[in-house]
């Protein structure tokens, strides 16, 4: 393909050589772009999937007041203060823009802290919804150099520091919402705005700023769009194609509905199960607010943060952990202390996070697992949250011969025993790390893990989730299916309208007795069905919960399990009584 461009581009290293053929071409004002091959996509995502851990940064002029306006905190997340308090553009400029002077900010120190925490990349808000550019924008004077006393290009300083420290650098850019530009979306309260079209905003500001960020700040690894809205195809295409200015750049899934990007994003919530067939990440603030809010003291514990990282890595995802600098350009001590604590854990255990893939096991009652597979065997990293009191750690379903096992903390060898149901690892009495101790298990040959049936937990409860169910659908009917919950919420069985379709779960138990059967569901109308344990059914009726999203938990019936063994629980609609419902889970609780 012949490439014709207005400006010259530099191909950076190996990735540049690989991806420059896919750069965009321009003929007049018509932009086109070529799609990458699957091999190109896998190559550019390799570093990202190896990294597993990055820093998100929400920083803007709203940090000056810490989210406060006229003595009140108008929103739970400070970066939305202009919108939630309906602050006029003139007042926002006086109270925030004119006072933004973070003289304590040091890009080098900031990047070094991310590096100390074990983070491999940084994504920062170049422009958030308030429309203020945290770089020296050429699209207008509403930017950190021209409009504030600080008069320094923060994005340029961070870009340089990241290159010097070997940290990948990326920009967040709010492409649709802009509460300052007369064509941007979101500001419906300031009557002083002389409105222009949204397409004019895209042409005059969004595209030029995105192009500037992708041509003047060196190699950019990630471009992170946010809050997609309806717009013209021309606007979509012009924004999408501009990212081709950077070879091998990675984009997220928030440009628009038809632009899936390179990875899926879950906000604030960790999915119980990883999405199938896509790369993904969880973005989450270290406290409650994305941007600095001076009343926000709800910082996640060090234990939660480390276990979040482990949990996400064990499912094959990345953790993009957000921090929020204050108006003077520094992080609060609570953030710094937590990042340093994560860094200390990563210094010992980072091998169990970087370059790993998802666990081969189902739920593990003692913690999580990550793995690395090689030509002649695999390494399993067992992240133990709950250290076994009897010193016996059971790895269910593992069939491979164990060649070596040791504690990552001190390299002390531990013994293992192969059983019919899996491997037992003998551990010392004390856990090396009170948050997450890592046991390294190296096995021979291609990884072989037998399917393990769900079983009651330590509390005697057996939870059968929607995505564990086997769904028996009728040919030719609307197919019931498991759907992912909104914003990383629980999965659920949906489109279950056919009264001839039914679901079942297989499980095992060594605890005979009577069990109360609970279900978490939603239905717009009363519904009747039958619950059966290995073929013995009893009728159940439930009342409407309200809407499709109005979930409730209700005890349905009592079943008796006479002896230990394997069983199948089934739910079948009652002909003439069935109305569609959505089902999140069924739980058996021992009486």
The model's pLDDT over 530-564, given as tens digits with 9 standing for 90+, comes to 999 978 899 999 999 998 889 999 999 999 999 99
Angle of helix 107-116 relative to helix 333-349, nearest 10 degrees?
50
Do 281 and 266 meet the contact criterion of CB atoms below 8 Å apart? yes
CA 168 to chain centre: 18
Do 497 and 524 meet the contact criterion of CB atoms below 8 Å apart? no
Alpha-carbon distance 257 to 266, whole Å? Answer: 15
The CATH code for residues 461-590 is: 2.60.120.260
The confidence score (pLDDT) of residue 475 equals 66
Calculate the alpha carbon distances from 250 to 164, 267, 501, 510 in Å. 21, 18, 41, 49
Alpha-carbon distance 318 to 51, whole Å? Answer: 8
The confidence score (pLDDT) of residue 488 equals 67
**From-to residues of CATH 2.60.40.1180 in the chain:** 367-444
Helix, strand, coil in percent for the chain, rounding step 5: 25, 30, 50
Tell me which of 3.50.50.60, 3.40.50.300, 3.90.76.10, 2.60.40.1180 is the CATH number of domain 367-444: 2.60.40.1180
Calculate the alpha carbon distances from 300 to 115, 171, 347, 365 in Å. 20, 25, 21, 23
The confidence score (pLDDT) of residue 5 equals 28
Q: Tell me the HSE value of 294 on the side-chain side, using a 13 A CA sphere.
A: 14
Alpha-carbon distance 355 to 363, whole Å? Answer: 22
Query: DSSP label at 17?
Result: H
User: Has residue 6 got a pLDDT over 80?
Assistant: no
Cβ neighbours of residue 530 under 8 Å, at least 6 residues apart?
Answer: 537, 538, 539, 540, 571, 572, 573, 574
User: Has residue 413 got a pLDDT over 70?
Assistant: yes
Q: To which residue do tokens 């007041």 refer?
A: 65
**From-to residues of CATH 2.60.120.260 in the chain:** 461-590
pLDDT in tens, 156-184: 999 999 999 999 999 999 999 999 999 99
CA 531 to chain centre: 36
Of 131-145, 268-282, 338-352, the one with minimum mean pLDDT is 268-282
Q: Say what the pTM is.
A: 0.84
Alpha-carbon distance 584 to 62, whole Å? Answer: 40
Going by pLDDT thresholds of 50, 70 and 90, the confidence category of residue 495 is confident
Calculate the alpha carbon distances from 233 to 172, 197, 238 in Å. 22, 14, 8
Q: Does the CA dihedral 458-452-465-308 come out positive or negative?
A: positive
The confidence score (pLDDT) of residue 344 equals 98
SS (H, E, C) 277-333: CCCEEEEEECCCCCCCCCCCCCCCCHHHHHHHHHHHHHCCCEEEEEECCCCCCCCCH
Alpha-carbon dihedral 82, 87, 93, 97, rounded to 10 degrees: -20
**From-to residues of CATH 3.20.20.80 in the chain:** 34-348
The confidence score (pLDDT) of residue 529 equals 97
pLDDT in tens, 231-246: 899 999 999 999 999 9
What does the angle CA 499 – CA 500 – CA 501 come to, to the nearest 5 degrees? 95
Alpha-carbon distance 236 to 393, whole Å? Answer: 52
User: Has residue 68 got a pLDDT over 60?
Assistant: yes
Query: DSSP label at 493?
Result: E
Q: To which residue do tokens 């169990």 refer?
A: 352
Alpha-carbon distance 377 to 369, whole Å? Answer: 16
Percentage of the residues of the chain whose pLDDT score is greater than 70? 93
What token pair was written down for 377?
Answer: 């065997």
The confidence score (pLDDT) of residue 30 equals 36
Higher pLDDT, 111 or 9: 111
The confidence score (pLDDT) of residue 18 equals 30
The confidence score (pLDDT) of residue 279 equals 95
What does the angle CA 93 – CA 94 – CA 96 come to, to the nearest 5 degrees? 65
What token pair was written down for 413?
Answer: 């060898």
Of 163, 58, 45, nearest in space to 115 by CA: 163
Q: Does the CA dihedral 237-243-245-247 come out positive or negative?
A: negative
User: Has residue 20 got a pLDDT over 90?
Assistant: no
Alpha-carbon distance 313 to 307, whole Å? Answer: 10
Segment (H or E) for 200: helix 198-201
Higher pLDDT, 9 or 238: 238
User: Has residue 283 got a pLDDT over 50?
Assistant: yes
Strands 121-127 and 168-174, sheet pairing: parallel
What token pair was written down for 472?
Answer: 């028996």
Percentage of the residues of the chain whose pLDDT score is greater than 90? 81
Q: Does the CA dihedral 133-135-139-143 come out positive or negative?
A: positive
DSSP string computed for 19-60: HGGG--EEETTEEE-PPPPHHHHHHHHHHHHHH-EEEEE---
The confidence score (pLDDT) of residue 453 equals 87
Query: DSSP label at 205?
Result: I
User: Has residue 32 got a pLDDT over 70?
Assistant: no
Of 70-84, 265-279, 309-323, 517-531, the one with minimum mean pLDDT is 265-279
User: What number of other Cβ atoms are within 10 A of residue 396's Cβ?
Assistant: 19
DSSP SS3 for 209: helix
pLDDT in tens, 513-522: 999 999 999 9
Of 187-191, 287-291, 548-552, the one with minimum mean pLDDT is 548-552
What token pair was written down for 385?
Answer: 């949250």
Tell me which of 2.60.40.1250, 3.40.50.720, 3.20.20.80, 3.30.420.40 is the CATH number of domain 34-348: 3.20.20.80
Higher pLDDT, 81 or 26: 81
Angle of helix 302-314 relative to helix 333-349, nearest 10 degrees?
50
């Amino acid at each position: 393909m012949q490439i014709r461009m207005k400006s010259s581009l530099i191909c950076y290293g190996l990735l540049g050589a690989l991806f420059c053929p896919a750069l965009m071409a321009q003929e007049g004002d018509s932009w086109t772009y070529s799609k990458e091959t699957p091999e190109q996509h896998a190559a550019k995502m390799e570093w990202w999937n190896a990294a597993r851990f990055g820093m998100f940064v929400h920083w803007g002029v709203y940090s000056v007041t810490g989210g406060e306006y006229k003595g009140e905190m108008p929103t739970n997340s400070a970066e939305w203060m202009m919108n939630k308090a309906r602050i006029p553009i003139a007042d926002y400029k006086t109270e925030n823009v004119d006072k933004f002077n973070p003289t304590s900010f040091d890009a080098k120190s900031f990047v070094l802290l991310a590096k100390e925490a074990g983070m491999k990349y940084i994504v920062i808000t170049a422009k958030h919804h308030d429309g203020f550019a945290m770089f020296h924008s050429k699209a207008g004077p509403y930017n950190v150099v021209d409009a504030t006393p600080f008069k320094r290009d923060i994005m340029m300083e961070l870009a340089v520091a990241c290159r010097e420290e070997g940290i990948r650098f990326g920009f967040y850019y709010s492409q649709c919402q802009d509460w300052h530009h007369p064509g941007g979306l979101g500001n419906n309260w300031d009557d002083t705005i002389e409105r222009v079209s949204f397409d004019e905003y895209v042409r005059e500001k969004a595209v030029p700023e995105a192009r500037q960020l992708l041509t003047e700040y060196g190699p950019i690894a990630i471009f992170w769009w946010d809050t997609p809205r309806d717009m013209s195809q021309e606007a979509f295409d012009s924004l999408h194609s501009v990212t081709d200015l950077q070879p091998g750049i990675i984009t997220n899934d928030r440009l628009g509905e038809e632009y899936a990007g390179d990875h899926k994003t879950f906000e604030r919530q960790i999915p119980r199960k990883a999405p199938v067939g896509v790369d993904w990440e969880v973005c989450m603030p270290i406290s409650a607010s994305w941007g600095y809010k001076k009343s926000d003291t709800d910082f996640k514990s060090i234990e939660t943060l480390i276990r979040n990282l482990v949990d996400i890595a064990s499912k094959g995802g990345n953790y993009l952990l957000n921090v929020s600098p204050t108006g003077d350009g520094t992080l609060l001590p609570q953030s710094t202390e937590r990042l340093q604590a994560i860094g200390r854990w990563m210094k010992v255990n980072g091998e169990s996070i970087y370059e790993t893939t998802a666990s081969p096991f189902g739920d593990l009652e003692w913690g999580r697992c990550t793995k690395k597979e090689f030509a002649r065997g695999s390494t399993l990293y067992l992240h133990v949250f709950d250290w076994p009191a009897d010193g016996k750690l059971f790895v269910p379903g593992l069939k491979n011969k164990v060649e070596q096992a040791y504690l990552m903390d001190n390299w002390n060898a531990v013994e293992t025993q192969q059983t019919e149901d899996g491997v037992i690892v003998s551990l010392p009495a004390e856990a090396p790390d009170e948050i997450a101790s890592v046991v390294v298990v190296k096995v021979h040959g291609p990884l072989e893990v037998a399917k393990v049936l769900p079983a009651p937990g330590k509390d005697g409860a057996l939870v059968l989730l929607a995505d564990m169910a086997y769904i028996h659908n009728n040919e030719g009917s609307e197919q019931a299916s498991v759907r992912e919950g909104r914003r990383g919420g629980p999965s659920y069985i949906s489109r279950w309208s056919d009264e001839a379709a039914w679901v079942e779960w297989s499980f095992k138990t060594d605890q005979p007795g009577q069990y109360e059967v609970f279900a978490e569901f939603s239905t717009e109308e009363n519904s009747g069905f039958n619950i059966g344990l290995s073929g013995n059914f009893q009728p159940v009726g439930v009342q409407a919960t309200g809407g499709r999203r109005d979930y409730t938990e209700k005890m349905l019936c009592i079943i008796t399990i006479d002896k230990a063994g394997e069983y199948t629980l089934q739910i079948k609609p009652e002909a003439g009584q069935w109305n569609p419902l959505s089902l999140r889970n069924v739980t058996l609780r021992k009486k």
